Amino acid sequence: MLGSRVRAHRIRGRGGLTALTAVALGGALVLAGCGGGGDKKSSDKSKVEVFSWWTGPGEADGLAAMKADFEKNNPGTTFENAAIAGGSGTQAKAVLASRLQNRKPPDSFQGHAGAELLDYIKAGQIEPLNSFYDANGMTKVYPRQLLDQISYQGKIYSVPVNIHRSNMLWYNPAVLKEAGIAAPPKTVAEFVADLKLVQSKTKKVPLSLGAQWTADHLLESVLLGDLGTDGYNALWKPGADWSGPQMTKALGDYAEIVKYTSVEAASTDWQGAAKAVVDGKAAFNIMGDWAYGYFTGSAPNGLGKKLGTDFNYAPSPGTDGTYLWLSDSFTLPKGAPHHAGAEAWLKEAGSKQGQDLFNPKKGSIPARTDADKSLYTGYLAYALAQWGNPSTKLAGSMWHGVVANNKWHTDIDTAVGLFLQSKDASKLQKALADAAKNDAQ
């Protein structure tokens, strides 16, 4: 659970994630606020203002589909789309923080399910939704592990609309063949060996990286691959030891892997790094499954590439059987001007119909377990099967808001940034250990 017991979520256009100053300021403003306007609940259903950052290709189309279904199911209720552009909500979160500080909340706002919402929860600015879940039968159609991971002190605070998988390895079959690699690596050790083969036998980049946040993204997959699901999940509990020998080994592997990344990493965002793979310029890229929509989507926003020919996929090395998840979700702010309208929107966001309308367009899968499987093809069929498999283990993404609060998230990013300059794994470990000690919920 969040806070005392975190058990460890593509968003298209994630490029803004490294600009965490706005997020950090947002957290400070949230904590300084007075709780979003009191506990009085409006019965007004004439309107609902939905605040999100879904403005890019795919996600905006999915939101439009849900909006149309919402208006059909709620005649007389005006849907106001208050989306603000910016990678992963960087700009939106800053605007939201100001509105909450001034006690002018929207009726519902988007947030990554998990620890990213802790500032709002602790400031008393969003309402628990347990009774809403019970009234709409939602506890029966969301995985129990997921509900545990988005709860804080036994209370659920958001409605997940989708699921993305962070721990995916994308690779170019032709480049692997050129390097003499028969199959994608299954362990971190195999991955390091394959990176060496690509470097020695081809002129291609072994592992493409983009802007700094993609190195943070890589880190969480390497930690999961080396520590295993239980070991990774334990990192996010209070009192976790980031100084032990297993962590030393994992960070040593991370430092070794970084040696084989593209030199232009600092100036290229995730799209450029992913494109290098499908264009045959790089062998591997570890990125969330939003990359699939980018690869296969039509021009001008997609690349129009073919699965199995231009690219293929596998779980990141050492992580098969574990879903390193992240999720877009919606909340119910205290003092929402149109409380009844907000609940109607949350019902849409949490419904089978709404999620099946939204996710095929966005390139994600529903958080619910009763999706219409015929709507999900290619990689999405695989993802849906993995998500719905009872034997699949869940771990929450650090970088994408599930297990680390905003300050911890920022301190990890700072530590990784310093490591990329120094390449000193021991200093990285000390910085991460200090961050865990100071920032754990």
User: How many CB atoms are closer than 10 A to CB 381?
Assistant: 14
Helix (H, G, I), strand (E, B) or coil at 341: helix
Burial class (CB in 10 A: 0-12, 13-18, 19+), 314: middle
Can you tell me the mean pLDDT for 339-356?
Answer: 97
3-class secondary structure, 206:
strand
Amino acid at 18: T
Residue 441 pLDDT grade (very low, low, confident, very high; cuts 50, 70, 90): low
pLDDT confidence tier of residue 358, bands split at 50, 70 and 90: very high
End-to-end Cα separation, the chain, in angstroms: 11
Lowest mean pLDDT among 82-96, 234-248, 253-267: 82-96
In this predicted structure, what is the pLDDT of residue 95? 92
Strand-pair partners of 171 = 284, 312
Among 13-22, 48-57, 279-288, 354-363, the range scoring the smallest mean pLDDT is: 13-22
Residue with tokens 């997940």: 160
pLDDT value at 117 more than 80: yes
CA–CA dist 135, 122 (Å, integer): 25
Average pLDDT of the segment spanning 34-54: 74
- pLDDT tens, residue by residue, 293-307: 888 888 777 899 999
Using CA atoms, how far apart are residues 220 and 254, in angstroms rounded to an integer?
10
Q: Which residues contact 203 (CB under 8 A, 6 or more apart)?
A: none
Q: Are 80 and 50 in contact (CB under 8 A)?
A: yes
User: Is residue 247 pLDDT above 80, yes or no?
Assistant: yes
**Does this model's pTM top 0.75?**
yes
What is the tens place of the pLDDT at every residue in 367-414?
Answer: 998 999 999 999 999 999 998 888 999 999 999 999 999 899 999 999
- The amino acid sitting at 95 is V
Read off the tokens for 228. 């295993």
State the average pLDDT for the chain.
88
Q: Which domains does the chain have, with CATH numbers?
A: 14-164+325-393 (3.40.190.10), 168-323 (3.40.190.10)
Assess whether pLDDT exceeds 70 at residue 26.
no
Grade residue 28 by pLDDT with cuts at 50, 70 and 90.
Answer: very low
Q: Measure Cα distances from 285 to 184, 190, 251, 392, 420 in Å.
A: 12, 15, 19, 23, 18
pLDDT of residue 39: 52
Cβ(369)–Cβ(143) below 8 Å:
yes
**Predicted confidence (pLDDT) at residue 362 exceeds the cutoff of 90:** no
Closest CA to 26 of 79, 74, 91: 91
Per-residue pLDDT tens digits for 163-221: 999 999 999 999 999 999 999 999 999 999 999 999 999 999 999 999 888 999 999 99
Q: What is the DSSP letter of 74?
A: S
**Apex 128 CA angle, 124 and 129, nearest 5:** 155
Please determine, for residue 88, whether its predicted confidence score (pLDDT) is greater than 80.
no
